Amino acid sequence: MIETLAFILTGLGLATSIVYYANVLRNANTTRRTQMYMQLFLTVSSEEFMKRSIELLRWEFKDYDDFYEKYFDDPSLSAKWVSQTWWLDGLGFLMSEGLLDPEMVYNFGGGGYAQINHWLKWEPIIHEMRIRRENPEFLKWFEYLITQMKTLRTEKGLTATPPPNR
């Protein structure tokens, strides 16, 4: 009888430990996701990020060569473009690895609006860079990000591509 009681108590102790550990892991995961969300939110909502995003969307060019001459030959301007597109590429990569919830990213850009507008602006440039640099995977995670944003928009009954920015 004592052996049976000891066995039951050991089992209950083990079960309690497992439940406790599962709760600790769940809470740690929630904390990690909250921290990641806030870090990304602070980046996206920063004045510097917004100014850069708006400035890039206002750049005007006829084609790749015109873009390259006007903006990419200037290190400070090309740094702005690379910073923005690589940031979006990084978001896509984190989403592809399951480290970022697509819904969270969708909400950062007003229903995918900001991300898709950047893609629409830069898609011809990115495709031409892929050809000229013989690098078909250049900014592929940015493109993946846009595919996910369009999918979410469609699932919510919206057009995949939002109306033009006005």
Is 70 exceeded by the pLDDT of residue 7? no
Task: Tell me which H or E stretch contains 54.
Answer: helix 47-58
Of the listed ranges 22-26, 42-46, 67-71, 138-142, the least confidently predicted one is 22-26
Q: pTM value? A: 0.80
Structural tokens at position 72: 């990419």
Cβ-in-10-Å burial (0-12, 13-18, 19+) of 130 comes to middle
pLDDT, position 87: 94
Domain boundaries, the chain: 1-45, 46-166
Do residues 131 and 81 lie in contact, with contact meaning Cβ atoms separated by under 8 Å?
no
Of the listed ranges 25-39, 86-100, 120-134, the least confidently predicted one is 25-39
pLDDT, position 42: 84
Give the whole-number percent of the chain exceeding pLDDT 90: 56
Do residues 121 and 58 lie in contact, with contact meaning Cβ atoms separated by under 8 Å?
no
Name the pLDDT band for 9 (thresholds 50, 70, 90).
low
pLDDT, position 99: 87
pLDDT digits (tens, 9 = 90+) for 37-69: 888 888 888 899 999 999 999 999 999 999 999
Is 80 exceeded by the pLDDT of residue 123? yes
